[in-house]
Chain A
Amino acid sequence: MALPRLQFITHTMKNLSIAPVCVSQVRAMSRVKRRRSLPPFWWPKSTRTMYPEHITSQNEDFLLDVVEEKYSSPLKVDPWERGTFKERSMRCGLIARKIGIYPMWTKDGSRLLTTLLQVSDNHVIKYIPPEEHIVHGLKKRYRELGAVVVGADPIDPRMITKEYYNIFSETGVMPKKKMSKFLVTPNAKLARGTPLYASHFRPGDYVDIAGTTIDRGFQGVMKRWGFKGMPASHGVTKSHRRGGTIGSGGDKARVLPGQKMPGHMGRERRNLRGLKVWRVNTQHNVLWVNGPAVPGGVGSYVYIYDSLLPHRKHTEENHPPFPTFFQDEEDIEEELYDEQLHAFHLPSIQFAEK
C-alpha cells in the first residue's frame, strides 16, 4: 500500500502538484465536500515562517542587489519550434486578476458591464510532454495532452521556502505567487521562461473563465438558497429566517440527501463559459470580458481558457495567435477594440434618418 502512495506523491510532485484544471468536474451536490480548509498534504509550502530578523540596512541593500542581479537578465533558452493551429488544438491559458467592473457601450448605444482582468507577469514555468504527464482519467483524448505550467505575479524570493524556490531555479524568472497547469496539445508547447501577455487573446474571442467565488462563510437558507423565510408577524416567533421543515414522517422518516440547509456558502470553484473579450490593453495587459459575473471579488485570481463551447471554438481560418502572441517580437497597438464596441475616443453615436 505504501508504494503506490509514494509513487503518487512523487508523480504529483513531478507534475508540480497542480491539479488538472480543464478536466475538473463541477459537483453541484451538497453532500460532496466542496472546499478544503487546508491544502492537501502533498502541496509544497510556498512561504516560510517570517520572524523579525533585524537585518541591518546595508545588508538589506546587499540582498536586494543580489536578487536584482540574479533576475536582471532572464535565462535565454533556444526558441522552440512553433506549431501551427489545427482542428482540436488546445492552447495554453492565462492567469489573471480581477481588477474591477465598469460599463462600456456598443455602437448601437446599448450598455454592457465588463469585467477588467489584469494578466500580471505571466511566464511559462514548465512544459510537461504527454509521456510524462500523468492523467488519472481514462479518456484517450486526455492521454494525448501535455501541460504547460504558468506562473503569475512575482514574489520576493527571500520570503519563500527552498522547496518552492527550486521549482523556478531553471526558469530564469522570479518565483511566482500563483501557478496553474493548462492542458495543451503538443503543437502548442511553450519554452520555459516565455512571457505571456493579454494579447494572447484577441477582441472578439470567446473565453471560459474559472475562479473561486467570494467566501461568505456560514449562511442561513435565505441567503444561501434563496428561501422565502417566514412572515414577520401573524404569530410567527423566532422563525422569521428559518427554512421550515426538512423532511416528512411516514414511510420515508428521514431527511433526503441533498436537502438545502444552512452551511458554508462561497469559496467554490466556478466556471463561466463563453464570455466575449471586448477590449484588450496591451500596455497594462488588461482584458475586458463580458459581464459582471466573473467569480471572486476584486483582486482574486482567475484562469482564462479558450472557450470549449462548440459554437465558440476556433477554426483553422480564424484562430488566435498560436501557440501564443510573442509581443516582444511584433508591434501591436496599445488598445484593441471589438468591432461592435464604441471606443471612448470616438465621437458620439448618431442615428441616421431613414
Chain B
Amino acid sequence: MVGVGARSGAARLFGVLQGLCRETWGCQARGVATRASTRVLPFIPTQDPDVIRKVPHDFRVVYPEFLPNPVPEWRNRLREKIERKDMLARRSNMPIPEFYIGSIMAVTVADPNAAGKTNRFVGICIQRGDSGLRAWFSLRNVIDHQGLEIKYEMYSPLVQNIEVLRLEKRLDDELLYLRDALPIYSTFPSDMETEILQEGAPVPVNPIKVQLKPRPWHERWERKNLQGVRDLGLPERFYKKAKLHEKPWEKYDLMKEYRATIPEEEQADIFREISSHYPLLESTRRRGKRKRVLPSLS
C-alpha cells in the first residue's frame, strides 16, 4: 500500500533527521563535553560517477580559494555554500583572472587619499593564502630602490581591477626569499605591458634561480629546501644544522596529508555546484590570447 511517494517522503524525513549531522557538519563531537576529540564522518560521494570526470582537472589549481579550509572543527557545508555564492557574485562584478605565485600582476584599488582616487600597484605575487572570502595575495616590487609589499584581499569591494601582466609559475610555493634577494629580482616597471601567451598553452614555469644577499636574512633559507635559489654559499655547519631540523618521515604520514586536503569526491561536488558559472569563470580566466615572451632576466 505504501507507495513510491511515501517511500521518498520517508527518505526525505530520514534526510532531515540525519542530514544536519551528516551533510551540514560532516563531523560529530563524541561525548557531551566538546573537549573530546571531534570525529570526522566519511564523505558520501555523489551518486553520479561522472561528476568527478566532468570537473576540469586544473580547477583546484586555478581557483584554490573555492576549496574550504579543511579543519573539521570550523567546517559547515551551508556556510561554505553561501560563501561560494557570495564569491561568485563578487566575481561577476570584478573578474579575478588566473594567477600563480611568481606571476606579475597589477592591482587597482579605490583609495580616497590617492590623486585620481585610484591606486595602481605592479608587482610579483610572492604569497597567497586563505580560502573563501578571506582569500588574499601579496605583491612585491622595488620602486626607487625601495622594496615594497602590499597585501590585497581578493574579494574586497575596494579592488577595482586585477590584471595579470605576465602569467608564469616559479619553482617554489612562496617567494618570500625575494626579500633577501638582490633588488633586481623583484624590480618591475610600473608601465609594464601585458605579455600575451598562446591560447591553450600550459602555464610556463620560470626556472630562474635567484641570488640572495649575504646573511643576515629574514629566515634560515638553507632549511627551507628552496628550488629557485642559487647556491647559498654557507659554511658546512649551517647545512649540518639544517639536516637536524629535517622531518623526512612527514611525507609518509598518510593521514596528515589527508587531513590537510579536501577529498577528491568533495572537490568534485564543490566544482559541480559552481559549474553553472563556468562560462563566466572561464571567460575571465585568461583575457585575450597570449604568447610566450621570455623574461629578460633569465
Interface residues of chain A, those whose CB is within 8 Å of chain B, are 61-62, 64-65, 67-69, 71-72, 99-100, 102-103, 105, 109, 111, 116, 118, 120, 153-156, 214-217, 267, 281, 284, 286, 297-300, 342-353
- The 4 lowest CB-CB distance pairs between A and B, nearest first, are A100-B79, A64-B10, A344-B89, A99-B76
Q: Find the A residue at minimum CB distance from B115.
A: A353
Known contacts A109-B158, A154-B16, A347-B93; is-contact A286 B78 (Cβ 8 Å): yes
- Contact, CB under 8 Å: A342 / B17: no
Number of A-B contacts (CB under 8 A): 116
- The reply to whether A348 and B79 form a contact with Cβ atoms under 8 Å apart is no
Residues A352 and B82 in contact, CB atoms below 8 Å apart: no
- Complex: how many Å from CA A239 to CA B107? 51
Give which listed residue, B6, B74, B92, contacts A68 with CB less than 8 A: B6
Please tell me if the beta carbons of A351 and B10 are within 8 angstroms of each other in the complex: no
Instruction: State whether B16 touches A109 (Cβ < 8 A).
Output: no
Residues of B within 8 A of A299 (CB): 25, 29, 76
A214–B74 alpha-carbon span in the complex (Å): 13
B73 and A297 contacting across the interface, CB-CB below 8 Å: yes
When distances are taken between beta carbons in the complex, the residues of chain A under 8 Å from B147 are none
Say whether A109 contacts B25, CB under 8 Å. Answer: no
Name A214's closest neighbour in chain B (CB-CB): B34
Q: How far is the CA of A72 from the CA of B13 in the complex (A)?
A: 10
Mark B64-86 against chain A: 1 for CB-CB distance below 8 A, else 0.
00000000011110111011001
Chain B residues closer than 8 Å to A68, beta-carbon distance: 6, 9-10, 12-13
Q: B223 an interface residue at 8 Å Cβ cutoff? A: no
Are B93 and A346 in touch, CB under 8 angstroms? yes
CB of A280 to closest CB in B, whole Å: 12
Q: Which residues of B contact A215 (CB under 8 A)?
A: 33-35
Q: Smallest distance from the beta carbon of B225 to chain A beta carbons, Å? A: 29
B75 x A298 contact (CB < 8 A): yes
A100 & B76 in contact (Cβ 8 Å cutoff): yes
Chain B residue at smallest Cβ distance from A98? B76
**What is the minimal beta-carbon distance from B280 to any residue of chain A, in angstroms?**
13
Contacts of B74 in A (CB 8 A): 100, 298
Whether the pair B110, A350 counts as a contact (CB closer than 8 A) is yes
| Shortest distance between the CB of B22 and any CB in chain A (Å) | 13
Q: Which residues of B217-254 are within 8 A (CB) of A?
A: none
Q: Is the CB of B78 within 8 A of A348?
A: no
A65-B10, A217-B35 known; A351-B117 Cβ under 8 A: yes
Bound CA–CA A271/B76 (angstroms): 24
- Of the A-B pairs whose beta carbons lie under 8 Å apart in the complex, a sample of 12, sorted by A's number, is A68-B9, A99-B78, A99-B79, A100-B80, A102-B83, A102-B134, A109-B110, A116-B79, A298-B76, A299-B25, A348-B157, A349-B157
Is there an interface contact between B78 and A349, defined as CB atoms closer than 8 Å?
no
Residues of A within 8 A of B153 (CB): 103, 111
> Whole-angstrom distance from the CB of B83 to the nearest CB of chain A?
6
User: B78 near A284 (CB under 8 angstroms)?
Assistant: yes
B residues less than 8 Å from A154 (CB atoms): 16-17
Which residues of B have CB within 8 Å of A111?
Answer: 153, 156
> Besides A61-B2, A299-B76, A344-B155, 17 other CB < 8 A contacts?
A62-B2, A71-B13, A99-B76, A99-B79, A100-B76, A100-B79, A102-B134, A105-B156, A154-B17, A214-B34, A284-B78, A297-B73, A299-B29, A344-B89, A345-B93, A348-B110, A348-B159
Q: When chains A and B are docked, how far (Å) is the Cα of A161 from the Cα of B92?
A: 51
Q: Which of B20, B34, B79 contacts A102 (CB 8 A)?
A: B79
Cα–Cα distance between A353 and B158 once the two chains are bound (Å):
16
- Is B133 an interface residue, CB under 8 A from the partner? yes
Q: Is the CB of B157 within 8 A of A61?
A: no
Nearest chain B residue, comparing its CB with the CB of A352: B117
* With contact pairs A61-B10, A102-B83, A281-B82 given, residues A350 and B35 touching in the complex (Cβ less than 8 Å): no
Contacts of B112 in A (CB 8 A): 351
A323 to B46, CA, bound (A): 42
* B29, B117, B156: the one within 8 Å of A353 (CB): B117
Residue B94 at the chain A interface, CB threshold 8 Å: yes
Given the contacts A68-B9, A103-B133, A348 and B2 also touching, CB distance less than 8 Å: no
Complex contacts, A100 vs chain B, CB 8 Å:
74, 76, 79-80, 83
